[in-house]
Structure formats: structure tokens, C-alpha cells
Structure 1
Amino acid sequence: MKIYDDKHIKNVVFVGAHNSGKTTLAETMLFEAGLINRRGTVENKNTVSDYHDIEHERGNSVFATPLHTEWRNYKINIIDTPGLDDFIGEIISSIRVADTIVTVLNAQQGVEVGTEIIWNYIDKFHKPTLFVINQIDHINSKFDESFKSIKNLVGNNALQIQYPLVVDGAQCIVDVLKMKMYKFGPEGGKPAKLEIPDGQKEWAKELNNELIEKAAENDETLLELFLEKGTLNEDEMRQGIKAGMINHELFPVFCVSALNDMGSGRLMGFIDNVAPAAADLKPEQSVDGKAVKATKESPTALFVFKTVYQPNLGQITFFKVMSGEVRLNDKLSNSRNNETETINQLFIMDGKERQPVNKLTVGDIGATLKLKFTETNDTLAAPNHVLSIKPIKFPPSRIKKAVFAVNTKDEEKLSESLKKIHSQDPTVKISFSAESKQLILSCQGDLHLATIDWTLKNIYGVEARFEKPKIAFRETIQRSSTSNYRHKKQSGGSGQFAEVHLKIEPWNENMEEPQGFIIRGKEEMDLSWGGKLVFYNCIVGGVIDLRYLPSIMKGVLEVMEEGPLTGSYIRDVRVMVYDGKMHSVDSNDISFKIAGAHAFKEAFLNANPKLLEPVMELTVKVPEDMVGSVMTDLQARRSMILGVESNNNYQILKSLTPEAELYGFSTDLRSLTQGRATFKSSFSSYKPVPANVQNDLVN
């Protein structure tokens, strides 16, 4: 196929709420350009982008799918993304490599919850963005309300390029950049280009003037030109709009009917002529802060933004050429692990279809197969060109589950399968809790979890079971206690004998040294599970030999690794060993270890033991009119509200919430706010568990 230079490659990503029509619009653009002979539909499960079995089964996009079209000597790479924020990892990775974001809205709904959530990420990336109001010919279409909702989202810099109009029963689109009206037949396709009707000229001229003024504001030369002659021509307006898009200060708004093939050609023309290419944007940054020049003369650098595993093909690696050119059989170095990869195959992907190419140039998006050492977020660069491009920052997980193989023989297979899923989708996190002896799966939500379960079952052949994870409680004490224990065992020959007297106290930072003891030695131990053990040798008169003190401490630590209340780790205790006895023949290390463990356990149970629970710092972003319901839910979860801040039409609630109470919070929050609220949490500290909760847990 034709190889395009960097000035004629445009990378766009389609984002938007569920059912906004992204997949249909992509299908129509491919059809309009003549790259496919007939348009598939989501209902018939035959679109180019939604080709995975799970997407056919669920009837919606689950994966971001790269494809391309060609329009008037430009190549447009399109990434069609899911509309549900459970799959936010697919959306973010696609935004990261796109040059322009195309946000698709359903004309019946305008800006929806999903649009708002995705916009928050677009705004952080500061990428050029345009809006497309789809389904303008639907009987319940509300174009004006949809446009107002865009203005509410992005402000007055939403720029209306088009609006729909019905003339003599025919669907039309008035374009105020070209000052023409496009009239479509019943089957859509190529429209008739007409003059704007007399009754619409005044309104169209008003919008055209607004467009001219906005375009002039974004370029000093254009502003001087505008002040000089009072207007701008079409080419000058395009220049100003492009500058505004690059600065993330202008957001053009188009209208289409993707289903009936109306307006897609004009949208592609705008992407060709106005939407920025990679070379127009600020250079990518490497991890060490260096600019990556987007020129074909620079050393080759590929950024891997997505990997997919298919049973019949293995791993497919998707990348964007950030600099230079990549050719078939090139050897490139992975900056993360210094491994060399050979590009044995090079493709342009259109859904599941692969088009082989011999090379790809800077700014283009392509794919290769069966790389051995490369994952999402890796950089592949020329061997003599050490470079690591800034990785994609994926959002933290929102739900956690303990995962088990239904058939215990599949435990290892389950672990390997989850590692593959994580390599394809970094928003899936896998960890093993040595404390709870559970494999913990973290992901974005219930639908995300259902997709993982489907993949395990249908792709990897593993039946999995998901449960509520155990909470990592801690045990400590609230007062001092003394205890002694004699271990004596005689079973023929050498026996076992040890007697240990000790006192324990709660430990806290900056406390004074123990009173009433002669301290002969002190050891502070930072425990791997948090907190401290401070161990004092207070032996007087040599009643216990110094060589047995480490064994006593080992016995204490054994108990601390499995506390008497709930089997949880013990923390923040200091121990004073002050007396005891030994036998010249029968005393040994194991005897003092056993005696130390029993003495410590008895003292612990008599020291008013207390259970501690992990408390999370929770931040919830919720619409103003829903704060009350969320606040009530948080209080029912034993939360301590730290404060409330305003952020446009949202409130930011900050609280300290026990981790044990956050189970199911993601689902409940979505239900309470119709999916409009978001949250994040991070570990804060361990706090005492209320007495009634402790009694239930101990029982």
C-alpha cells in the first residue's frame, strides 16, 4: 500500500459514551473512502473494529481497535475505543498516541456521564479535540441542547462549525466554515453542495463571524490581519482553528449521521486539512526529560501503547513511530530490559485484518507479531540510541477480588493467564498476599471483572472463582503486662529446660526508656509488615546466658507473625526480658525459643490487646446535587469526613474510610450517582477497630 509522509498522516481516536456511535462512524468513514465494499453494523456483528468474540457477545466495544482510512491523499489512522469507563485503560492508551481526539456525542443525549469522565482525561493530556454530534436525523435528536451541553463541558471555546437542517424533507448540514449547505439523499453518501437558504443566511453569517473572531484570537499574525481587513478567508480561518486546537483552546463541533452516511466525508476533509499531525504538536518527552524529535531523519524510536493476545496469532504489539522510520527486519533495543527485538513482520491493522508493509515512517501507527520481551509502555529504539519515552500513567484500580482456580490443578495456569492479561491491560493488577495467602486481582469495575472472567474461561481455558479479599488487620496492645513461662521436657538423655520472665508495653515514637530495669542491650526491629518491635536485654546476674537472648526474640517474633486474636501480624510492642533460669545441661536454643514464645503470648493476651485495621484516604468527586446521598453512604461505612471542596459543578469529598468498608463501594457509588462520580483511594494508616467490630472478628 501507499506509504505516506509525516505531514499526510493524521492519528485520531474516537471517544465518547456508550452507544454514541463511534464504531458506526468509523465503519462509515472506511466505507466512504472505498476501503470496504459494504458497511457492517454492531447489531449484525460484522463491523471492522468490533471483531472480538466477547464484543459480539456483549454488543459493545471492549477493546480499543486501530484501523485506517485514506481520504484525498491523507492517511487517517483511527482508534475506535470502548464507551464504558471500566475499560478506561484502553481509552487512555489510545488518547496517548493520538494527535486529535474526536469526541462523539449522541444527539439525543448530548454530553453524558461517560463523556464527562473521558473529558477529564482528555483535559489532562491537553490534546487537540473536536466534537461530533451524531444521529442528527433521529426523530428525538436535540442538536441545540447537545451543543449547549458541550459548552457547559468545555466553556465558550466550543466552536460550532456545522448545524443540521431539514429542507423539503431532506436532511441537510449547514457548514459555516465553507458557508455552504450539504443536502443528502435518503441513502446518504455524497451530498449536493448548495447555497445556504435565505432564511438561514443571517444565522449562518453570525456563526461564521464568531468563527473568524475565534480563529484570529489564536494567532498574532491572523489577529493583525483581521484588525486590518475585518475578516479572514477560509484558509486563514483553518490556520487559526488549527492553532487553537493545538493550544487546547478551540473545540470545533461537527454534526453527522454515521448510520445513514451523512457528513462523514466533510469530517474527514477537516481532519485532513485542519486537525494537527504529530509533527505539529509539542515533541514527546523521554523519561529523562529530553525532547524526541518527530522527524524521519532522527534515530528510530517506537512507543508500544497496546498489546493484544490472540490464540491463533500470539501477541500482537501496537506501536506509534515517534521518530525515524521502522523497516522490516530492523533490530531494535528495548530500553526497559536491554533485550534486542527483530521486527520480522510489519503491519497496518484494520481490526483483525493485517496489511503487510515494508516500512512505516514517523507519526504512523502500526503493529508487529511475536515480540519476545516487549510489553505495553515499552520503547523500542535503534541499538545505538538509548531512549525511554515517558510511559502512560494508568489510573489506580477501583475494586479488588481474591481469585482462585476452581480446579486446584489450574492454580499455576491461572497465575500465568493473569500475567498475560496484565501485560495487555496494565489497569489489571495482580499481586500475591503472603499474609492472607491469596492471589489478589485489582481492576476497574464489575464489568471489567466480568470481561477478565470471560477471557480466562474462553481464551485461556481456566475456570476462576472470585471472593472478597481478606483484610490485613494488625494486632497490638494498650497497656503493659508481665508474664513468665517455664519450659521443661524430659524424655531420656538430654532434656529441654528454659524459664523466661518478661514484660511487654505498647511502643510509640519518642517514648522514654523502660523504668525499673537495668538495660544491658537493646535491639530495634522495623517489621516488614509495618510498626516496630523493640527488644531489651535486662538480665541481671547472668541467670540467662547472653547466647540465648536471640532465641527468645525468635520465639517472640514467631508469635508476632500470627497474633493470638485473629492470626494477624502484631506491631508496635516493646519487650523487656528481665529474669529467668537455665540448666547447664538441658538448656538450649529451642528451649528458650519455646519459653519466650509462650511468655510473650500470655503477656500479650493480658495487655488489653487491640485489633487495628487499615484505613484509606478516600477522595470522591461527585456532582453537587448528589453530595447528600454519597455523604450518607460514607458515614454508613464508618468514614471520618475530612472536608469538602468545590470544583466547578462538582464537590470533592475527602474522608478516612476503613478498607473493610470499601468492599462494594465502587458499585454502590455508580448506582447512587448514575455513574457520574469517580473516586480514588490510598493507604493512610492503621487505626483501632471499634469494640463491637473487634468482638465479631475475634469470634
Structure 2
Amino acid sequence: MPAEFDTNHVKNIVLLGHAGSGKTSLAECMLFEAGIIQRRGSVAARNTVSDYHELEQERGNSIFSTLMHARWRGYKINLIDTPGYDDFVGEVISALRVADTGVMLLNAAMGVEVGTDITWRYTEQFRTPMIFAVNQLDHEKADFDKTVQQAKEHFGSKVVLVQYPVQQGEGFHEIIDLLRMTMYKFLDTGGKPEKKPIPDSERARADFLHKELVEAIASNDESLMEKYFDKGELDEDEMKDGMKKAMINHDLFPLFCLSAERNMGSGRLMGFIDNVCPSANEMPPQRTRSGKDLPCRSEGPPCIFVYKTVSEPHVGELSFFKVYSGTIKSGMELENENTQVSEKLSQLFAVEGNRRMNVNELTAGDIGATLKLRNTHVNNTLHDRGAALELEPIVFPPPNMSVAIEPVNKGEDEKLSQALHQLVEEDATVRVEISPELRQTLLHCQGDMHLAVIKWKIEHVGKVEIRFARPRIAYRETIRKSADAQYRHKKQSGGAGQFGEVHMRIEPWFDGMPEPGGLTVRGRETHELPWGGKLIYYNCIVGGAIDTRFLPSILKGVLEKMQEGPLTGSYVRDIRVSVFDGKMHPVDSNDISFKLAGLQAFRQAFRNADPLLLEPIYQLEVMCPDDLTGSVMGDLQTRRAIVEGMESEAHFTRIQAKVPLAEMHEYASSLRSITQGRAKFRMEFSLYAPVPFELQKKLTEEYNKQAVLEEA
């Protein structure tokens, strides 16, 4: 049985927007209008198709992206509802990767919010054709004109009205459509509107905005511009064709009106999706890692890309994928380009939230799911055996938050390890790091909401009770001046003894420094340290005071001590060591003797070389509403931040600062509290910088006190 829809009749839509903009409610409307469901659910009633997960219903907002589909006038519209909080950005990015059009919802009462701006960056990265939909026009504080103005300020003049409301607020029930030059009048219960002529009171505004729309479409297509000059107008089909091309090129973003809560405007939006929005085969072809194009054709070589995996209890791994080429049939075997393992697609599914419908085929451009691909993960490409196709992977953002994680009950480390493995498999924005340096298992994620979801999953699905702790800071130690030291290691215990004496100079290393003064250089080694920085190791021995065969042992002792600096036990970096003298014994000298002598000589010299503690400094970017900039800045000053710049973007301020990692614990929670969730931030490692003197003293005393306790 062939696929029900061919490539031309499949549209892939992702619903985007800040939390509370109405994405899940719009999805309900679209499924209801298409007859997929007989009754619209609501977020408040916890009975929507999209937010079906127990955790989403408990929290009252989307956490995971949800795949659904609607059959509409001969088309299959795949819908992916996405979370609105930036903590779950991985779900948004993976959905954008496989969508061919995005619908960005704007809350008419709130305008353009921070989450909208952040999501927009990703749509530009993927060059996703975009539609704007101003939702909640029936809200008592709805302000359509202000919302449109903000959209143009943020996203440019490419935002063009296709519709506008006649009224807004509680009386909202009429929309003027500027493409069809018709007024849609809705009953209070919503649903299918009555089509009416544009009233005289709106004719002048409608004509002006219609002309604006026509000119925006024509300006992106020379042939349409010529027709517009000749006729002074474009017909509806010409406008649709022009809009599709402009949307594909990211040159035009049509704007629609909605009340998803009352089901007003969703049917017209779906009509626009099937009439105008591009199918996958009308989008630029996918690029393979080798730089070749892969056209989206049903008769092409079979090729799918896995963008999401979910572990379902009692079922196993459910892999979501898009067919980028060919026709995929149940029972087909494909080769995983990334793992080189053959996988059998035993079952194919069309997905409706938590429901799965078996299908026999999925054609190029469609999105579906399959079960139990044992060696396939997110970002994997599967293809015909020997085809050697690998599609560009999704690049997920770095984490913003880190915590130490451990099981509450002893003996459950293995269970926790398994739960963390499953977590990372499902969520590519989570990183787990077992840090020998800090002696902690670290969990890196996107923010405190993300962390709360992770805790719930580990405890409810993984069945491991856990606790979080403050992660230790990965300090570094170095020196500020030169120091010499010598150490004799001597041990006699019957038979052969141990003897080695090392004379050593250590200096702070920097690029371009001159050769060691007053010493004869006979050899130099540069060691890039695994933890950052360098060790430069010089052989300055004259007269054979130490045999060259013992120099690697001295180096080994130095490197061992550099893994546990004397100030806080942190890694040591950026040191130049010159071994310039020493003594041997013809019988008792051996490798272990010179290793221990080198270690102790380095330790003594380091303490006399004005040791310095360095701390990791992160580049921080905060995006917050203008009216909250002062509060955000005040908080940053308490965190030893150095503000490097501020710039305005419409009614937001972007703050750039450098801040010590030690001061950023629980910053996500603090920022959310200060701004009522209206600000977002990103941070990434920048450099190591000296710790203030008083703080270095405090940290060193704490380390020495702990060392005494451990020895006792």
C-alpha cells in the first residue's frame, strides 16, 4: 500500500513562541478543525493532545516537543508543538531542524517577549520560513498595533500584515483578510466564520494595507514587480506564489490574527499553510557532511535523519525521524552512517501526541517514528547500505548551569549511572561529567527548570532518589616570581637504597620569554597540559651531575605534583622548570629516587615563588527588559562581575559581562526571581584570572584545615 500523501502534499510546521503565547491551544484548534479530535482540550483541564506527559500536566506548560498531524484538504500537516521556556531549547532546535515552516505566536497582551527573541535567533540559523500569528486578541489588554510595531522593531520590515482585527479585547470576533480582501466574522463560540464584504468603515485601511502587502511581495520578485507596474495589482494566485518564494528566501514573514482559546482564525491559518507554505521538496536541498546536495525526492535513495528519541515504559526507545529522500517502508533495513550498524525498521508510525498509528510507508518530506533502533541516536543518518550519506547534525547550545549529583542511598551509583545515560540519550542539551579533579559527578544543563525536570525523570523513571550539591570550582595554581630549590631523597633499608638529588629553578611561563638566564640549556620540552596551560621543561645539567636517563623521572615527579598544587590542591599551569644540578649515587640512584626528588624540589620552589590562585571567568550575556536593567545590573555587581557593555534591542537590553564561575551558583533562579522570568542568559568559559588576595587566603586556609582533618 503506497504512502497516503506524496511529497508535494506534506507540510511540516513547528509552533514557536514564548511560554503562554498559546501554542498548545492552537494545536488543539488545528486538530479539531481537521476532525482529528472531536472536542478541543485545554491546558487548564490537562487534556490536550500535545501536553500529554504527566510532568507537563503537573506543571501546566510544555516541556517536550510533541509531534502531531492533521489531514486538511488533501494535505498532511505535521505539527510540532514546542516548549516556550529557554531551559528546553534543545526541544525547539531539534524541531526546527526538521520543520519547513515556523509559526511564531505573539501574545497580544504582552507583545514580543524575551523567549520570542531567543527562539528567533535559531529560526535565522536554520533559515526557516516564518509566519507570525498574533494570538489572544480577545484578551482585555490586547494591543494589536503595539505588538505589530514591536515585531517590526525586532524582526524588521519583512513582517507584513496579511490580516488585522476589526475589534480586540473581549469583543474580538472579526478579522480583515488582506490577501483575499474579505472579512471573517466569527460566532462567540468560534469555529467556521462567515465571509462578509469589508465594511465601508474599514475600506480605506484595508486598501492601504493590501497595497502594502502587494508591494512587499512584488519587491522580492522581478517578474511580479513588472506585472504590478503593468496592472497596478496582483491577483491572489500571483500573491501566493510570490509569498512562497519570499518565505523560502527568508525575505517576507506574513502575519495573521488568532484567538486560539476561542478557535478564531485557525482554519484560515491552516488554509494558508496548505496553499502557500513550502513542502520539503520546495526548500533548498539538504547538505551532506561531504558537501553534496541531497534533493528531497520520493524516488531518490532512502535516507532518514533522527532528530529526537524518547524512552517509553514497557515499549523501549522511540526514534523520531524525517525522511529526507526516498520512500521508507516498514521492514526495510537501513545502514546507520554514524555507527556503521544495520537497523531494521520493523514498524513505522504516524504520531498523534501519545498515540501511534501504524503506517506501511513514509515518503520523502514526511516525519514519523519507529521503535527499537538499538544503535541509533539523535543526529544519526540512516540510508541504503553503502550509500555513505551523512546529513549535517543539529548543533545544540552549551549548558548554562552545573550541579554535582549523587544518590541519596549508598550503593545506588550504578542505577544512577544508568538513569543518567538514558537522560543524555533523550536530551542532547544535558551533559554528564565525571570529574576526577573535583571528585564529583557533574550535571550540566540549561537552567533551574531544566534541572527540576531532570530530577523528576531520574527519580520517577530511573527510580533513584538523588540530591544536588554545589559543584566545586576548578581553580588553577601558578606563580608570580622565580625561585630555586634543591632536594635530596635518601633512603637506606638494608640492600640497595634510594638516592637522588635535584637542583631546580621554576619561573612563571609566558609566550616569548627569553631563555633561562645564567644556565646552559641542553634540551627543552614543551608539554601542553590536559587541564590547560603549559609546562616548559629544560635540561640545564652540566658535567654529567645527573645522568640524562633520570630526567624523564624528574619530569614525572614534577607533573605529578602539578596535579595537586600546594594552595588548594588544584591543577598547576604555566610554569617553566629548569633542572640545573644534582647528584647521583653509582648504586642507589634509580628512577623512583629522582621522581621523588623532583617532586619535592618542585614543591619547595613553588611555595617560595609567590604562588597565585586562578579562577575560571565566564563570558555572560543577559537579555532583559529595559525596565529591569537596573535590578539585573545591581545583582551582577554583587557577583564580582565586570560589565563590558550594554546595547539596546527594541525594548530589551543586552548586557555583556565577565563574571567568576564561583559567583554564578543558582544564578538562573536569581535572575528568574528578579525579572519574573522575563530575562534570559547565556554563559561560556572565557579565561582564568587571579583570585582576589583575601579570597585566596580564605580558600588556602580552608584547604589546609581540611587536609589536617583528613590526616587525623
Q: TM-score, normalised by structure 1?
A: 0.94
Task: Please state if 1:78 is matched with 2:90.
Answer: no
Q: Please state whether the residue corresponding to 1:559 is helix, strand or coil.
A: helix
Deviations 1:195-232, CA, capped at 9 Å, x for gaps: 23332233223322222222222322222222112112
Give 1:316 deviation, angstroms.
Answer: 0.9
Give 1:652 deviation, angstroms.
Answer: 5.0
Separation of aligned partners in 1, 2:187 and 2:651 = 42
Give 1:70 deviation, angstroms.
Answer: 1.0
Task: Please state if 1:485 is matched with 2:479.
Answer: no
Separation of aligned partners in 2, 1:520 and 1:192 = 93
Q: Please state whether the residue corresponding to 1:269 is helix, strand or coil.
A: helix
Deviations 1:375-412, CA, capped at 9 Å, x for gaps: 11111112132111111121221111122222232223
Match of 1:553 in 2: 555
Match of 1:113 in 2: 114
Give 1:39 deviation, angstroms.
Answer: 1.8
Greater shift in the superposed pair: 611-620 or 393-402: 611-620
Greater shift in the superposed pair: 486-495 or 228-237: 486-495
Match of 2:708 in 1: none
Task: Please state if 1:697 is matched with 2:662.
Answer: no
Query: Is the contact made by 1:127 and 1:248 (CA closer than 8 Å) also made in structure 2?
Result: yes
Match of 2:347 among 345, 348, 353: 345
Match of 1:190 in 2: 192
The structure-2 alpha-carbon separation of the partners of 1:301 and 1:579, relative to structure 1 and needing over 3 Å to count, comes to same
Separation of aligned partners in 2, 1:183 and 1:50 = 30
Q: Please state whether the residue corresponding to 1:54 is helix, strand or coil.
A: helix
Query: Is the contact made by 2:561 and 2:599 (CA closer than 8 Å) also made in structure 1?
Result: yes
Query: Is the contact made by 1:64 and 1:79 (CA closer than 8 Å) also made in structure 2?
Result: yes
Query: Is the contact made by 2:114 and 2:680 (CA closer than 8 Å) also made in structure 1?
Result: no
Separation of aligned partners in 2, 1:596 and 1:469 = 33
The structure-2 alpha-carbon separation of the partners of 1:604 and 1:150, relative to structure 1 and needing over 3 Å to count, comes to closer
The structure-2 alpha-carbon separation of the partners of 1:230 and 1:408, relative to structure 1 and needing over 3 Å to count, comes to same
Give 1:160 deviation, angstroms.
Answer: 2.0
Greater shift in the superposed pair: 291-300 or 556-565: 556-565
Give 1:631 deviation, angstroms.
Answer: 4.6
Amino acid at match of 2:61: N
Task: Please state if 1:28 is matched with 2:24.
Answer: no
Separation of aligned partners in 2, 1:183 and 1:227 = 33
Q: Please state whether the residue corresponding to 2:263 is helix, strand or coil.
A: coil
5+ residue gaps in structure 2? 702-712
The structure-2 alpha-carbon separation of the partners of 1:257 and 1:441, relative to structure 1 and needing over 3 Å to count, comes to same
The structure-2 alpha-carbon separation of the partners of 1:488 and 1:36, relative to structure 1 and needing over 3 Å to count, comes to same
Match of 1:87 in 2: 88
Separation of aligned partners in 1, 2:522 and 2:278 = 74
Match of 1:415 in 2: 417
Separation of aligned partners in 2, 1:213 and 1:506 = 66
Match of 2:500 in 1: 498
Give 1:630 deviation, angstroms.
Answer: 4.5
Query: Is the contact made by 1:620 and 1:678 (CA closer than 8 Å) also made in structure 2?
Result: yes
1:294-693 maps to which residues of 2 (within 5 A)? 294-621=296-623, 628-643=630-645, 653-672=655-674, 675=677, 677-693=679-695
Task: Please state if 1:101 is matched with 2:102.
Answer: yes
Greater shift in the superposed pair: 286-295 or 534-543: 534-543
Greater shift in the superposed pair: 663-672 or 257-266: 663-672
The structure-2 alpha-carbon separation of the partners of 1:516 and 1:37, relative to structure 1 and needing over 3 Å to count, comes to same
Give 1:185 deviation, angstroms.
Answer: 2.5
Query: Is the contact made by 1:113 and 1:675 (CA closer than 8 Å) also made in structure 2?
Result: no
5+ residue gaps in structure 1? none
Query: Is the contact made by 1:217 and 1:240 (CA closer than 8 Å) also made in structure 2?
Result: no
The structure-2 alpha-carbon separation of the partners of 1:298 and 1:562, relative to structure 1 and needing over 3 Å to count, comes to same
Separation of aligned partners in 2, 1:155 and 1:543 = 75
Separation of aligned partners in 2, 1:62 and 1:170 = 30
The structure-2 alpha-carbon separation of the partners of 1:164 and 1:580, relative to structure 1 and needing over 3 Å to count, comes to closer
The structure-2 alpha-carbon separation of the partners of 1:527 and 1:201, relative to structure 1 and needing over 3 Å to count, comes to closer
Greater shift in the superposed pair: 487-496 or 206-215: 487-496
Give 1:430 deviation, angstroms.
Answer: 1.8
Q: Please state whether the residue corresponding to 2:387 is helix, strand or coil.
A: coil
Match of 2:280 in 1: 278
Amino acid at match of 2:492: Q
Give 1:97 deviation, angstroms.
Answer: 1.2
The structure-2 alpha-carbon separation of the partners of 1:650 and 1:18, relative to structure 1 and needing over 3 Å to count, comes to closer
Greater shift in the superposed pair: 333-342 or 161-170: 161-170
Amino acid at match of 1:329: G
How many matched pairs?
Answer: 699
The structure-2 alpha-carbon separation of the partners of 1:215 and 1:573, relative to structure 1 and needing over 3 Å to count, comes to closer
Give 1:322 deviation, angstroms.
Answer: 0.9
Greater shift in the superposed pair: 531-540 or 279-288: 531-540
Please give the root-mean-square deviation of Cα atoms over the aligned residues, in Å. 2.5
Percent sequence identity over matched residues? 53
Q: Please state whether the residue corresponding to 2:455 is helix, strand or coil.
A: helix
Give 1:4 deviation, angstroms.
Answer: 0.7
Match of 2:269 in 1: 267
Separation of aligned partners in 2, 1:238 and 1:351 = 31
Query: Is the contact made by 1:170 and 1:183 (CA closer than 8 Å) also made in structure 2?
Result: no
Greater shift in the superposed pair: 470-479 or 196-205: 196-205
Q: TM-score, normalised by structure 2?
A: 0.92
Q: Please state whether the residue corresponding to 1:259 is helix, strand or coil.
A: helix
Q: Please state whether the residue corresponding to 1:657 is helix, strand or coil.
A: strand
Separation of aligned partners in 1, 2:143 and 2:207 = 22
Deviations 1:580-637, CA, capped at 9 Å, x for gaps: 4444444433333323322221222122211122233444455566555545544443
Match of 1:212 among 211, 214, 232: 214
Separation of aligned partners in 2, 1:217 and 1:540 = 80
Give 1:506 deviation, angstroms.
Answer: 2.5
The structure-2 alpha-carbon separation of the partners of 1:644 and 1:107, relative to structure 1 and needing over 3 Å to count, comes to closer
Separation of aligned partners in 2, 1:644 and 1:163 = 35
Separation of aligned partners in 1, 2:346 and 2:657 = 53
Query: Is the contact made by 1:134 and 1:255 (CA closer than 8 Å) also made in structure 2?
Result: yes
Give 1:171 deviation, angstroms.
Answer: 2.3
Give 1:139 deviation, angstroms.
Answer: 3.5
Q: Please state whether the residue corresponding to 1:409 is helix, strand or coil.
A: coil
Separation of aligned partners in 2, 1:227 and 1:521 = 79
Separation of aligned partners in 2, 1:432 and 1:265 = 51
Query: Is the contact made by 2:218 and 2:224 (CA closer than 8 Å) also made in structure 1?
Result: yes
The structure-2 alpha-carbon separation of the partners of 1:180 and 1:512, relative to structure 1 and needing over 3 Å to count, comes to closer
Q: Please state whether the residue corresponding to 1:25 is helix, strand or coil.
A: helix
Separation of aligned partners in 1, 2:507 and 2:215 = 74
Deviations 1:94-113, CA, capped at 9 Å, x for gaps: 11211111111222222222
